Amino acid sequence: MKALVFPGQGSQFSGMGSDIYNSNAQAKELFEKANGILGFRITDIMFTGTDEELKQTKVTQPAIFLDSVIRAIIAGDGLKADMVAGHSLGEFSALVANMSLSFEDGLKLVAKRAMAMQKACDLEPSTMAAVLMLDDEVVERICKETEGVVVPANYNCPGQLVISGGIDAINTACEAMKAAGAKRALVLNVAGAFHSPFMSPAQQELEEAIHQTKFSTPTIPVYQNVNALPSTDPATIKQNLINQLTGAVRWTQTVRNMVADGATEFIEVGPGKVLQGLVKKIEVSVSAESYAVA
């Protein structure tokens, strides 16, 4: 069985999407439609912008979404799959791929999400840190024992868990992680504490937008970040999408559940090859590759 997986923030690079824009009429039409919806020419930044320009909140998330979703749309039946999942932002791409969301509605929600998250980041200083080569249970315990707000945010693969929270709490937790045997506990250069209680203001803003958006019954199940379980129920999908902003991305558990349900081939659709690498570390027996337009 084939699974499509879609990357999240951090996979962007200058020039992304230009190959299909210049070679495929349908892709060009969709990119131009996106420019109109967003109210600025995101394609100019995607194709020729600097890394700093691509890091702008209003650009990063929509850019990754567009590169991912447009590749999936123009591939059509060539990427026919049995299940989908996405890492954080990538869950929105997955929901367009399985027909839960329209291209237009997916883009509007992603743009809304990006700006709401930026506003939440600006309210109070916060950050994230990557913890390497320490058991998840130990990381979870240290987070609970640390004073202040610090929580597991991204279960990326065995031996790689990202934590999220207040700056002082993160620094304290990192020292405790290293003392407990972590190979590294590295504070990341990010705008704020994603997938933590610090995103509550953004969650409230996004919840309203999600409830105002039409979600259809999907053609294939989406395995969602917050519980790593498959869903085809629009109401459940919407609630999990809302909970995702403050809940952890359970990517390790998601991939394992997809394999348990029959997935033998994972195709990463979108910029970069991050998920391809994570899938191979989680389940070494499965095929994982990225999709490239011929």
In whole angstroms, what is the distance from residue 133 CA to residue 269 CA? 28
- 77 and 138 assigned to the same domain: no
Catalytic: 211? no
- 204 and 157 assigned to the same domain: no
Count structural domains, the chain. 2
- 31 and 93 assigned to the same domain: yes
Please state the pTM of the whole predicted model. 0.95
In whole angstroms, what is the distance from residue 30 CA to residue 103 CA? 9
Selecting among 68, 87, 195, 196, the annotated active-site residue is: 195
Cβ-in-10-Å burial (0-12, 13-18, 19+) of 84 comes to buried
- 42 and 106 assigned to the same domain: yes
Q: Which residues pair with 155 in a beta bridge?
A: 161
- 171 and 264 assigned to the same domain: no
- 26 and 101 assigned to the same domain: yes
CATH number at residue 179: 3.30.70.250
- 176 and 209 assigned to the same domain: no
- 168 and 38 assigned to the same domain: no
- 104 and 226 assigned to the same domain: yes
CATH number at residue 45: 3.40.366.10
Domain that residue 276 falls in: 2-122+197-290
Tell me the pLDDT tens digit for each residue of 169-216: 999 999 999 999 999 999 998 889 999 999 999 999 999 999 999 999
Selecting among 68, 88, 93, 100, the annotated active-site residue is: 88
**What local confidence, expressed as pLDDT, does residue 292 receive?**
64
Domain presence at residue 22? yes
Tell me the pLDDT tens digit for each residue of 152-176: 999 999 999 999 999 999 999 999 9
Long-range contacts of 225-234 (CB under 8 A, 24+ apart): 225/86, 225/87, 225/88, 225/91, 225/249, 225/250, 225/251, 225/254, 226/250, 228/253, 228/254, 228/256, 228/257, 229/257, 230/83, 230/257, 230/261, 234/100
Percent of the chain with pLDDT over 70: 99
Catalytic: 285? no
Tell me the pLDDT tens digit for each residue of 235-269: 999 999 999 999 999 999 999 999 999 999 999 99
Domain presence at residue 192? no
Residue where a domain stops, chosen among 141, 169, 187: 187
In whole angstroms, what is the distance from residue 282 CA to residue 267 CA? 15
- 260 and 164 assigned to the same domain: no
